[in-house]
Amino acid sequence: MKRDRVYAATAALHLSIIFAICCRDTFTVLSAGQVLWPDAWTRYSSKAQRTSEVLLLRSLVRENPVRQGLFAYLNMAGIENGYGFFAPRVPDAYQLRFELHYKDGSVGSEQLPGDAGVSALRVDSLLDVIGRADDAVVREGIIQLLADRIWEEHGNLERVRVFFETVSSPPWRDFAKGAQNSIEILYTYDVGSETVEAAAPPKQ
């Protein structure tokens, strides 16, 4: 009987964490004001989103062992991200752009390749991982791996400037007026043959 109670409590805790993650993702979308949602309710969505962040211990410092333990559990269980889609809003997408600087002074441009189907899905998933990474070291490590491939495919390179950008859909009211997607540079990196250095994004 005692073992059954432990199992039930563990299952309830696990499901509560999943519920909190899904609420966080959903209320994040609602608080952005980009759905068919009354403006007066947006502030309540923001409060609910902040509450879910507190429940997931994101208010604690990153070095806190309790927060690290919870995040480790979330990743091992595969529940670190919930289902945050909320129609009719299309979620933001990421794109990675490489600016190639050759030794002869010429400059080229290339984007992360991805064919249709499974390959494109894998590229989108990789970009989502980069966009969600809180640790700059992890993010820069992935960028370095991708830049290494560029160095192998293109000869006579002096450096590569990498732009990690987000593509955002306009609010539904602006979309109805013909507004287009907007692109914002989140991170910029200067990549040499062996190193990657973070740089400030250029002013828009």
CB atoms within 10 A of CB 134: 9
What's residue 204's pLDDT? 47
pLDDT of residue 124: 74
pLDDT of residue 120: 64
Note the pLDDT of residue 201. 54
CA dist 44 and 128 (Å) reads 27
Q: What is the pTM of this model?
A: 0.51
**What pLDDT score does 46 carry?**
83
Q: What is the DSSP string of 100-148?
A: EEETTS-EEEEE----TTHHHHHHHHHHHHHHH---HHHHHHHHHHHHH
Helix (H, G, I), strand (E, B) or coil at 86: coil
Measured from the Cβ of residue 52, the count of other Cβ atoms closer than 10 Å reads: 21
Q: What is the mean pLDDT of each run of 10 residues along the chain (204 residues)?
A: 85 89 80 68 83 87 88 83 53 80 86 58 76 80 83 82 82 68 84 60 50
Q: Report the helix count and the strand count for the chain, using DSSP H and E.
A: 6, 5
What was the pLDDT predicted at 12? Answer: 92
